[in-house]
């Protein structure tokens, strides 16, 4: 037999941006062997008539840093056609780390990425100290999909500076040199790059700002120069852009000095709803000058999910609710249906003085019911405030009724980024900009409040097929955006295209039937921890290196995924791609 696998008669969307075409695809030894009208035979043949055949998606913004060490299935990403996931974003992770700092990094990850302390404390084996040892620990466990890592700034800073680093004190020149050398060591061992956070939104579970918040430009430059010495690696930033011009010029200087590509998270802020346009203009100017700088953007609102089973709900700060907050869901629902308790709760006022909590949990004009399938571009008149006014009741009463549905499992949607104008037109502007790349899904993180690892599926269902509130996007371009373009952005040039020589990471998708299911809560983390989980219908098969890892939306049990160590070259036969 000529091949290991032939996929016949599918509609091939090859990741290049070219128009879809009908044809066959052959796999040999984990690589694409042939595309077109194939006459040979194979050990296995799959009929793909009526299905899209696409490259596996490359998700460059995940947080599987813990999950990849204790579990083999990198879900929910693998449920959404992702075949390569990049972790270690936003400057948080677990290596390098000395034993005495284990709890510090757990508290940081708990606060920044909403992964409970008990889950991390039980799940992490800590059979590493250095970053190369951490990579070895990840590599020792087989996975369903490929995983790659970046070295996180917070861990690096605490490892070199101890408590001074955690307390955001200035690094000395010697400490900067140490961080630079450790970053270079990490890149040489296989890290794809370096990540850092400069946002006040990122805090430890104790409320302290992330250790990297105020790191000086000299420190960031020293680390970037470590990547330059290594000759490879990307820089990943998240920042508040409090002083947009100064901050952007600093990022640009890092790229000019180090020659390393940089990406920075970008979304529309409700506080300054047009500020993203200024960043896009700066990125275009930088790229026109030959600097490789991108914004990581996403195609739907970054949304909080609120509910009785989740981290937050509109009554979280109410004294009456705090009396029952830790009770099992079934008992909580029973008490909330009691007329006397209900009346006391609805007459209560929230006690939280946290500005974010106050702005979110009392803003019913930006809060929506979460339907199944979910509507992530709801009309303004669908908000709880508008519905409550139409019914002649308080929005608090409506929120309570909605959350009590489905035996208390129902959820509310609060878009807090990318929805300041009540539509996704700003997202479309960002997606279509030449200096952006898709990211920000955060698979593996925010387990009790955000569920955005399904971004790749939403890009297909909403943007190329279902959108009614504005223009759609071209299917071939969306596939390219989350395969070839994301792969190239982090130096993985061996994947993301269905052409001979490329890695045989492949999705077979029932495009017409592709449906994003509503999020639900599962209790499958270490220590019985819960997480928000969202899957989809319509992924008929997903292959990693030619091995089927998902069939009909269910795991096959195969674990061909591997740790990707460092940047990967394009196949020599396709070096021009």
DSSP structure string for 27-52? EETTEEEEEES----EEEEEE-TTSE
Per-residue confidence (pLDDT) for residue 527, from 0 to 100: 96
Residue 118 and residue 63: Cα distance in Å, rounded? 17
400/278 same-domain check: no
Q: Is residue 565 part of a domain?
A: no
Residue 337 burial (CB count, 10 A): 12
For 544, the domain range is: 3-55+504-526+537-557
Q: Is residue 306 part of a domain?
A: no
Q: Which of 46, 149, 106 is nearest to 543 (CA)?
A: 46
285/331 same-domain check: no
185/203 same-domain check: yes
244/186 same-domain check: yes
Say if residues 279 and 426 touch (Cβ distance below 8 Å).
Answer: no
Phi/psi of residue 77, each to 5°?
-55, -45
175/280 same-domain check: yes
Per-residue pLDDT of the chain (577 residues; tens, 9 = 90+): 699 999 999 999 999 999 999 999 999 999 999 999 999 999 999 999 999 999 999 999 999 999 999 999 999 999 999 999 999 999 999 999 999 999 999 999 999 999 999 999 999 999 999 999 999 999 999 999 999 999 999 999 999 999 999 999 999 999 999 999 999 999 999 999 999 999 998 999 888 999 999 999 999 999 999 999 999 999 999 999 999 999 999 999 999 999 999 999 999 999 999 999 999 999 999 999 999 999 999 999 999 999 999 999 999 989 999 999 999 999 999 999 999 999 999 998 776 666 777 778 889 999 999 999 999 999 999 999 999 999 999 999 999 999 999 999 999 999 999 999 999 999 999 999 999 999 999 999 999 999 999 999 999 999 999 999 999 999 999 999 999 999 999 999 999 999 999 999 999 999 999 999 999 999 999 999 999 999 999 999 999 999 999 999 999 999 999 999 999 999 986 543 3
266/177 same-domain check: yes
43/64 same-domain check: no
357/480 same-domain check: no
Per-residue confidence (pLDDT) for residue 520, from 0 to 100: 97
Q: Is residue 19 part of a domain?
A: yes
- β-partners of residue 516 are 536
What is the domain count for the chain?
A: 3
Spell out the residues 6+ positions from residue 219 whose beta carbon is closer than 8 angstroms to its own. Answer: 170, 171, 176, 179
177/250 same-domain check: yes
Q: Exposed, middle or buried, 559 (CB in 10 Å: 0-12/13-18/19+)?
A: middle
The answer to whether the pTM exceeds 0.75 is yes
196/72 same-domain check: yes
297/198 same-domain check: yes
Residue 356 and residue 366: Cα distance in Å, rounded? 14
Spell out the residues 6+ positions from residue 544 whose beta carbon is closer than 8 angstroms to its own. Answer: 56, 83, 144, 145, 146, 505, 558, 560, 561
Of 415, 437, 462, the position where a domain reaches its end is 415
């Amino acid at each position: 037999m000529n091949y290991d696998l032939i996929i016949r008669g599918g509609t091939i969307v090859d990741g290049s941006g070219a128009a879809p075409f009908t044809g066959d695809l052959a796999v040999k030894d984990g690589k694409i062997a042939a595309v077109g009208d194939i006459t040979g035979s194979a050990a296995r043949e799959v009929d793909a008539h009526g299905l899209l055949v696409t490259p596996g998606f490359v998700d460059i913004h995940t947080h599987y840093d813990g999950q990849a060490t204790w579990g083999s299935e990198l879900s929910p990403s693998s449920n959404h056609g992702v075949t390569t996931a990049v972790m270690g974003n936003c400057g948080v992770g677990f290596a390098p780390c000395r034993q005495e700092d284990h709890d510090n990094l757990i508290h940081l990850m708990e606060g920044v990425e909403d992964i409970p302390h008990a889950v991390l404390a039980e799940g992490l084996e800590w059979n590493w100290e250095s970053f190369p040892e951490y990579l070895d620990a990840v590599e020792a466990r087989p996975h369903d999909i490929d995983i790659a890592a970046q070295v996180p700034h917070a861990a690096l800073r605490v490892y070199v500076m101890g408590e001074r680093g955690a307390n955001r004190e200035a690094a000395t020149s010697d400490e900067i040199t140490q961080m630079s050398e450790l970053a270079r060591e990490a890149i040489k061992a296989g890290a794809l790059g370096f990540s850092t956070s400069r946002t006040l939104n990122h805090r430890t579970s104790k409320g302290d700002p992330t250790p990297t918040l105020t790191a000086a430009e000299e420190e960031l430059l020293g680390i970037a120069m470590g990547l330059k010495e290594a000759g490879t690696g990307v820089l990943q930033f998240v920042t508040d852009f409090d002083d947009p011009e100064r901050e952007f010029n600093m990022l640009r200087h890092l790229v000019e000095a180090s020659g390393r590509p940089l990406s920075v998270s970008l979304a529309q802020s409700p506080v300054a709803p047009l500020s993203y346009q200024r960043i896009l203009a700066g990125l275009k100017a930088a790229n026109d000058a030959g600097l490789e700088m991108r914004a990581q953007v996403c195609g739907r609102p970054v949304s909080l999910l609120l509910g009785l089973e989740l981290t937050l709900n509109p009554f979280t700060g109410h004294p009456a609710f705090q009396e029952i907050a830790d009770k099992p869901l079934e008992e909580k629902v029973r008490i909330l249906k009691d007329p006397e308790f209900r009346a006391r709760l609805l007459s209560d006022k929230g006690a939280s003085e946290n500005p974010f909590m106050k702005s979110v949990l009392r803003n019913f004009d930006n809060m929506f019911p979460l339907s199944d399938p979910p509507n992530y571009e709801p009309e303004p008149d669908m908000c709880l405030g508008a519905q409550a006014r139409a019914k002649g009741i308080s929005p608090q009463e409506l929120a309570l009724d909605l959350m009590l549905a489905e035996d208390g499992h129902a959820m509310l949607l609060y878009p807090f980024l990318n929805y300041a104008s009540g539509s996704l037109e700003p997202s479309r502007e960002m997606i279509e900009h030449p200096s952006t790349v898709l990211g920000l899904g955060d698979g593996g993180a925010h387990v009790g409040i955000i569920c955005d690892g399904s971004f790749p599926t939403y890009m297909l269902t909403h943007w190329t097929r279902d959108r009614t509130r504005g223009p759609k996007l071209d299917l071939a371009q969306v596939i390219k955006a989350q395969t070839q373009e994301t792969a190239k952005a982090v130096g993985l040039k061996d994947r993301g295209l269905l052409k001979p020589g490329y890695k045989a990471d492949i999705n077979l998708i029932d495009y017409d039937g592709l449906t994003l299911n509503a999020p639900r809560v599962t209790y499958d983390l270490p220590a019985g921890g819960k997480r928000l989980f969202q899957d989809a219908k319509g992924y008929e098969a997903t292959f990693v290196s030619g091995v089927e890892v998902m069939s009909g939306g269910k795991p096959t049990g195969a674990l061909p995924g591997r740790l990707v160590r460092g940047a990967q070259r394009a196949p020599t036969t396709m070096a021009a791609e």
